[in-house]
């Protein structure tokens, strides 16, 4: 199946590393112009450089609606609109339930839930102008079960993303905007490797039906499909990519 996103403009948050960066690269390879947005503007800019003139790196703090609006506005002004949004920005704390502080809880929801909401609402306003849009939100297997590495706040936040996705999908469908969620399992990313040991990651991998960690590019391929015309009749869905983890 050939994914052709020529003429589309995509915004990817959390794009300086991991799934976000691979997704930006794959969208670009499919023909899209891509804005790589990240809390660290220097790393976002560095990630955009190899992609050439059809890519820019931008700083954004998704916790702030004002900075999200400014980022979406800058992309729309430079490239003529926004067609695709992928919300990869997220944080994970491995804190166990009884030790979670109010600050950690609030910070997790500010990034993982409010940040997704801000980006979806701002991007949808731009998409409605064109009468076409694709929004793909990054949830997790944690949103359907319990996080492998993260605490209860991560699990709860990713479940909230699924509810937000369904509600947005229902309301935005009349405007030609499809909204879906992707639920990765344990993927070999910087986030995973900084929150546990290599030995534990290997043990987790051996416990899955497909006995390895997922790769960021595999998640990126799924996201590209959902961002394309091939997924025109899909909205409000949550798509698992976890090596069979949810079966056990």
Residue 177 is part of a domain; what is its CATH number? 3.40.50.720
Q: Is residue 236 part of a domain?
A: yes
- When pLDDT is cut at 50, 70 and 90, the band that residue 248 belongs to is low
Q: Is residue 97 part of a domain?
A: yes
Mean pLDDT of the chain: 96
Q: Is residue 101 part of a domain?
A: yes
Q: Is residue 139 part of a domain?
A: yes
Runs of H (alpha helix) within the chain = 18-29, 41-48, 65-79, 102-109, 115-130, 152-172, 190-193, 198-207, 216-226
How far is Cα 96 from Cα 105, in angstroms, rounded to an integer?
12
How far is Cα 177 from Cα 58, in angstroms, rounded to an integer?
24
- Residue 193 or residue 108, greater confidence: 108
Name the residue among 146, 77, 160 with its Cα closest to residue 116: 160
How far is Cα 45 from Cα 43, in angstroms, rounded to an integer?
5
Q: Is residue 207 part of a domain?
A: no
How far is Cα 119 from Cα 138, in angstroms, rounded to an integer?
12
pTM of the model: 0.96
- When pLDDT is cut at 50, 70 and 90, the band that residue 195 belongs to is confident
Catalytic residue positions, numbered: 154
Residue 184, pLDDT > 70, answer yes
- When pLDDT is cut at 50, 70 and 90, the band that residue 196 belongs to is confident
Q: Is residue 176 part of a domain?
A: yes
Q: Tell me, what's the pLDDT at 193?
A: 87
Burial class (CB in 10 A: 0-12, 13-18, 19+), 42: exposed
Q: Is residue 88 part of a domain?
A: yes
Please give the structure tokens belonging to residue 205: 């991998």
Residue 161, pLDDT > 70, answer yes
Q: Is residue 212 part of a domain?
A: no
Full residue range of the structural domain in which residue 103 is found:
9-185+219-240
Mean pLDDT confidence for 53-75: 98
CA distances from 124 to 57, 175, 241 (A): 21, 9, 26
Number of domains in the chain: 1
Q: Tell me, what's the pLDDT at 231?
A: 98
């Amino acid at each position: 199946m050939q994914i052709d996103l020529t003429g589309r403009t995509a915004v990817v948050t959390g794009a300086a590393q991991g799934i976000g960066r691979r997704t930006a690269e794959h969208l670009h390879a499919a023909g899209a112009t891509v804005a790589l947005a990240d809390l660290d503007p220097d790393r976002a800019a560095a990630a955009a450089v190899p992609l050439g003139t059809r890519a820019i790196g931008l700083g954004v703090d998704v916790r702030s609606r004002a900075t999200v609006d400014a980022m979406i506005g800058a992309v729309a002004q430079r490239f003529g609109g926004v067609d695709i949004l992928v919300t990869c920005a997220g944080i994970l704390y491995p804190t166990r339930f009884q030790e979670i502080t109010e600050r950690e809880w609030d910070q997790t929801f500010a990034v993982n839930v409010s940040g997704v909401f801000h980006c979806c609402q701002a991007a949808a306003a731009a998409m409605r102008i064109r009468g076409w849009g694709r929004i793909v939100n990054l949830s997790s297997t944690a949103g359907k079960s319990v996080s492998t590495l993260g605490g209860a706040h991560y699990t709860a936040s990713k479940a909230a993303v699924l509810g937000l996705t369904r509600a947005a999908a229902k309301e935005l469908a009349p405007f030609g905007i499809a909204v879906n969620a992707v639920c990765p399992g344990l993927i070999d990313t910087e986030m995973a490797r900084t929150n546990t040991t290599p030995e534990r990651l290997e043990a987790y991998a051996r416990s899955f039906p497909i006995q390895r960690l997922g790769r960021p590019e595999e998640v990126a391929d799924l996201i590209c499909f959902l961002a394309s015309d091939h997924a025109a009749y899909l909205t409000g869905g949550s798509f698992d990519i976890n090596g069979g983890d949810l079966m056990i």
